[in-house]
Chains A and B, each alone.
Chain A
Amino acid sequence: MSRLATSYLSGRSNYRLIEFCVEAACVVLGVWLAIWALIPVYNMALIAFSEHGAVFSGQTWPSQPSLHAFAVVWGQDFWYLERFWHQFGNSFFIGITTMILTLLIGTMTSFTIGRLKLRHGWMLSNAALMTYVIPASFLAIPFYRIMNIYGLSNNPWSVIAAMVTFASPYSIFIFQHYGKSIPMELDESARIDGATPLQIYVLIYLPLMAPALVAVGTYSLLLAWNEYLYQFLLLSSRDNMTVSVALAQFLNSDEAPWNYMMATAIIYALPPIAIYYASRRYMASGLTMGGVKG
């Protein structure tokens, strides 16, 4: 008994030691990850907080830290930023609409292919894939043309349409894959209970797809949020532009107040992060959210 007890105890402390080492290694990895992710961001902040936006200062800390750049952005006090808040609103409109439409179209299409087993549904997936054969930057010219043909030039909906076009195929694939982990028997039992496909879609499929919805939603939001080629190509008037186009203005001259640009970029990056953070709870819910009641 004592021998068993000793081996049990030493086994346990070995286990604790391994656990501790693993935990410590994870902390080290975590620190490295944070440093890796933050260095360029730190450089951006360094420039944003410096007095004159010096980029070749050779400093690791701003010599005269100042919030001046942020105040300028906030107060629209610079000619590139004159319509900042309005353009910020445009970014929101285009970004959120793209996200909602991508999620909607993506889930509906993957639902019909994967759950309703649409005959020849695989043709739809393959056709979607053709969108990626030519990189998006080279499709800009034909997009410009068809938007003019459809009468959508200088209209935010042209940008939304372009963004949804590029985000959808990828979303469909992710949803299709993720959907395979949801047993078909759930659908079947719901059908037996008399549910329509629409009810299955809303009450079973969507809730169980939550983690994929968060990932794809963030992806489509960011795609539209940070896109600038299509935005300035398809939009002409300053009032329709978004902040990512406004940021591109700083590259216009060979000399610009980089602190304003970096301050703008930092402020502009906050909403998607906030949206991601607010929705990340749904990532963890996953399969434990019940759809079986349906």
Chain B
Amino acid sequence: MSTVSRRNILAATAGLAAVEVLGRPYIANAQAKTATIWVGQGFVPQEDAALKETVANYEKASGNKIEYSIMPFMALYQKSISALTSGDVPDLIFSDAPTVILPVNAFNDRLADMTDVVETQKGKFTETALLSASFYNGKLKKRSYYMAPVKQASAPFHVWGDLVTKAGMSLADVPNRWDERWEWFKKVQEPLRAQGGRKVYALGLQITTVGPNDGNNLFYHFLIAYGGGNIVSKDGKLNTADPKVKEAAIRAVEQMTRAYKEGFVPPEALSWNDADDNNAYHEKLFVMSFDGTLSPELAVITKRPDDYQNNMRILGMPTGLDGKPVPAQVGAGGGFCPKAGKNTAVAKDFMKFFITPEVMNANLKGGLGRWCPSIPAVVKNDPWWTDPKLDPHRSIYVQTTVLGPTIPNYIGFNPAIGQVNAEQLWGKCHANVLKNNMTPQQAVETAFKRAETIFNKFTFEG
């Protein structure tokens, strides 16, 4: 392990030790019970190690026992779905990236209500985190909290600073407006290619229909930047009839497909799977991309420290068409409990422990800060998160994800958007324009029609 990560672990352990005392008030009862939890595997080993520490500390503080299984997130989804369908459920499942499991099962009243857990820290959460954790229960016909949020992540801009310099431009000149920024980066391509070598591209737009989230994530941010962020509103309604939303969507599709047609995007981006854009970015096949979390940087933190420290760069959110900063769409992660679990009380107790600011901080720091805390006070009180001298990327990322304007992703508003995402309707828009000779308007209208059909499946009252 490098000194950087070891230092982080030491800091985390010190934090966790201090937490032991503070965690005590949340012990449920004196009887030692066991809860089973399923956790998604982290992207770096430190995340898993941090979880083990948190669990160990809880066990010491409460006398209860936690049996945890760590598995890759794909396996976690499949196993969770199998469990929720068949009824043999664990007591707690940790959900990572935006997923459909949560809202659909909340809608079908298969999850335990987590309001009592969230209440313990309610005033401290960001509004976005709270919105991400609340879901509509179709049986009880009301919204409630079904997840205890622990962390959130957003998508920053990733840039190879050295390639920008090589093209004779300077990052200090990057425009702070959405469209201008994308246009500016297009200018890097020609000078770089003129210097010979392999074909390099300016933009790594993931206009693919493969892979769970990248394509949708990208589209929504363009939509938000152009003022169409209200495509799904808090009450679960789909607002495709709103001309503002429609215009924004058409503009988004038009901009992205134009960049592709102009040759600034690698042609295979249409078929990229979840890992391909990161692979390509690491091999410097394009200069700039817009992708979730700091995982591209953290993946090379030990292998290529020079790249991490100097060459890779992060940019925060620019301003949108309306002149205001584009809010980052944030994905929240946390724990939820299936209703049929046998030891839900212990699981909830564990979550109450986890969301105390000190535990949350220690755990996420142990995970190298790939996820940010859902409680702003945590980052404000700990300079580890905000001091630009400690790390070149983190402070910008924290600003985007926690301190700056954020909106939740739409999953909490209506489960139907999960199906819209899974059907990759927006990726299909791009493909329709690029392959099937549709105009952006026609492509968007087709997608909107399908979205409306999907939304009609879920009826909300209140």
Task: Write the residues of chain A forming the contact surface with B, with a CB cutoff of 8 angstroms.
Answer: 52, 54-58, 79, 140-142, 144-145, 148, 153, 229, 232-233, 236-238, 245, 248-249, 251-256, 258
Q: Which of B270-293 contact A (CB under 8 A)?
A: 274-275, 277-280, 282-283, 285
B15 adjacent to chain A (CB < 8 Å): no
Scoring B residues 23 to 45 as 1 if CB is less than 8 Å from chain A, else 0, what string do you get? 00000000000000000110111
Partner-binding segment picked from B50-58, B295-303, B416-424, B442-450: B295-303
A-B contact pairs, 16 of them (CB 8 A): A54-B282, A56-B279, A56-B280, A141-B86, A144-B83, A145-B82, A148-B86, A232-B75, A233-B75, A236-B69, A238-B70, A248-B72, A252-B40, A252-B74, A253-B275, A255-B279
A52, A237, A238: which contacts B303 (Cβ < 8 A)?
Answer: A52
Whether B82 contacts A254 by the Cβ 8 Å rule is no
Residues of chain B within 8 A (CB-CB) of A229 are 78
Whether B279 contacts A141 by the Cβ 8 Å rule is no
Whether A148 contacts B75 by the Cβ 8 Å rule is no
Task: Write the residues of chain B forming the contact surface with A, with a CB cutoff of 8 angstroms.
Answer: 40-41, 43-45, 48, 69-75, 78-79, 81-83, 85-88, 198, 274-275, 277-280, 282-283, 285, 295-296, 299, 303
Closest to B300 in A: A255
Closest to B84 in A: A141
Closest to B83 in A: A144
Closest to A236 in B: B69
Return A80 CB to nearest CB of chain B, in Å. Answer: 9
Residues of chain A within 8 A (CB-CB) of B87 are 145
Closest to B277 in A: A254
Closest to B40 in A: A252
Centre residue among B48, B88, B198 by max chain A CB count within 10 A: B88
Residues of chain B within 8 A (CB-CB) of A256 are 275
The docked-state distance in angstroms from the alpha carbon of A255 to that of B70 is 18
Residues of chain A within 8 A (CB-CB) of B88 are 144-145, 148, 153
The docked-state distance in angstroms from the alpha carbon of A41 to that of B86 is 39
The docked-state distance in angstroms from the alpha carbon of A58 to that of B283 is 11
Residues of chain B within 8 A (CB-CB) of A233 are 75, 78-79, 82
Whether A232 contacts B275 by the Cβ 8 Å rule is no
Return A83 CB to nearest CB of chain B, in Å. Answer: 12
Closest to A245 in B: B75
Residues of chain B within 8 A (CB-CB) of A249 are 41, 72
The docked-state distance in angstroms from the alpha carbon of A248 to that of B74 is 9
Closest to B36 in A: A236
The docked-state distance in angstroms from the alpha carbon of A229 to that of B87 is 19
Residues of chain B within 8 A (CB-CB) of A248 are 72, 74-75
A52, A238, A254: which contacts B275 (Cβ < 8 A)?
Answer: A254
Whether B285 contacts A232 by the Cβ 8 Å rule is no
Residues of chain A within 8 A (CB-CB) of B78 are 140, 229, 232-233
Whether A254 contacts B274 by the Cβ 8 Å rule is yes
Closest to A146 in B: B86
Residues of chain A within 8 A (CB-CB) of B43 are 252-255
Return B67 CB to nearest CB of chain A, in Å. Answer: 9
Residues of chain A within 8 A (CB-CB) of B285 are 56
The docked-state distance in angstroms from the alpha carbon of A178 to that of B285 is 55
Closest to A252 in B: B72
Whether A79 contacts B79 by the Cβ 8 Å rule is no
Whether B86 contacts A252 by the Cβ 8 Å rule is no
Question: Given A249-B41, A255-B43, is A232 in contact with B71 using a C-beta cutoff of 8 Å?
Answer: yes
Whether B73 contacts A254 by the Cβ 8 Å rule is no
Residues of chain B within 8 A (CB-CB) of A142 are 86
Question: Given A144-B86, A145-B88, A148-B86, is A255 in contact with B45 using a C-beta cutoff of 8 Å?
Answer: no
Return A267 CB to nearest CB of chain B, in Å. Answer: 20
Centre residue among B73, B282, B285 by max chain A CB count within 10 A: B282
Residues of chain A within 8 A (CB-CB) of B81 are 141
Whether B299 contacts A255 by the Cβ 8 Å rule is yes
The docked-state distance in angstroms from the alpha carbon of A255 to that of B301 is 12
Residues of chain B within 8 A (CB-CB) of A140 are 78, 82
Question: Given A148-B86, A252-B73, is A232 in contact with B79 using a C-beta cutoff of 8 Å?
Answer: yes
B72, B74, B295: which contacts A255 (Cβ < 8 A)?
Answer: B295
The docked-state distance in angstroms from the alpha carbon of A148 to that of B302 is 42
Whether A255 contacts B86 by the Cβ 8 Å rule is no
Closest to A248 in B: B72
Residues of chain B within 8 A (CB-CB) of A232 are 71-72, 75, 78-79
Residues of chain B within 8 A (CB-CB) of A52 are 303
Residues of chain B within 8 A (CB-CB) of A145 are 82, 86-88
Whether A55 contacts B75 by the Cβ 8 Å rule is no
Whether B72 contacts A251 by the Cβ 8 Å rule is yes
